Structure 1
Amino acid sequence: MHITAMLYGAETWVLTKAAEHKLAAAQRRMERRMVGIRLSDKKTNAWLRGVTNVKDVIASAVERKWAYGWELVRSTEVKWSEELMKWRPPSKRWVGRPKTRWHDDFQRILGTSNWRSTTRVMTKIEWIDLLRCRIL
Structure 2
Amino acid sequence: MTYGTETWPLTMGLIRRLRVTQRAMERAMLGVSLRDQIRNEEIRRRTRVTDIAQRVAKLKWEGHIARRTDGRWGLKVLEWRPRTGQRSVGRPPTRWTDDIRRIAGSRWRQAAQDRVLWNSLHKTSVDVDWLT
- Shift, 1:125, TM fit: 3.1
Question: RMSD in angstroms over aligned alpha carbons?
Answer: 1.6
For 2:95 and 2:110, locate their aligned partners in 1 and report how far apart those are by CA, in whole Å.
18
Give the one of 123, 126, 132 matched to 2:123: 132
- Shift, 1:92, TM fit: 4.7
Q: What one-letter code is carried by the residue in structure 2 that aligns with 1:59? A: Q
Question: Partner of 1:14 in structure 2?
Answer: 9
User: 5+ unaligned residues in a row in structure 2: which ranges?
Assistant: 128-132
Question: Partner of 2:98 in structure 1?
Answer: 104
The verdict on how the C-alpha distance between 1:46 and 1:125 changes in structure 2, with shifts beyond 3 A counting, is farther
The number of residues matched between the two structures is 126
Once the two structures are overlaid, the 10-residue window that deviates more, 41-50 or 88-97, is 88-97
> Are residues 1:31 and 2:22 paired?
no
Contact 2:111/2:117 (<8 A) preserved: no
> Are residues 1:80 and 2:73 paired?
yes
Contact 2:27/2:43 (<8 A) preserved: yes
Contact 2:19/2:53 (<8 A) preserved: yes
Q: What one-letter code is carried by the residue in structure 1 that aligns with 2:73? A: W
- The runs of at least 4 aligned residues of structure 1 exceeding 3 Å deviation read 90-93
Contact 2:15/2:53 (<8 A) preserved: yes
TM-score (norm 1): 0.83
Contact 2:66/2:75 (<8 A) preserved: no
For 2:76 and 2:66, locate their aligned partners in 1 and report how far apart those are by CA, in whole Å.
12
For 1:114 and 1:98, locate their aligned partners in 2 and report how far apart those are by CA, in whole Å.
22
- Shift, 1:128, TM fit: 2.2
Secondary structure in 2 aligned to 1:47?
A: helix
Q: What one-letter code is carried by the residue in structure 2 that aligns with 1:77? A: D
User: 5+ unaligned residues in a row in structure 1: which ranges?
Assistant: 1-5
What is the CA deviation profile of residues 51-77 of structure 1, one whole-angstrom value per residue up to 9, with x for unaligned ones? 001121111111111xx1111111111
Question: Partner of 1:49 in structure 2?
Answer: 44
Question: Partner of 2:55 in structure 1?
Answer: 60
Overall identity of the aligned pairs, in %:
37
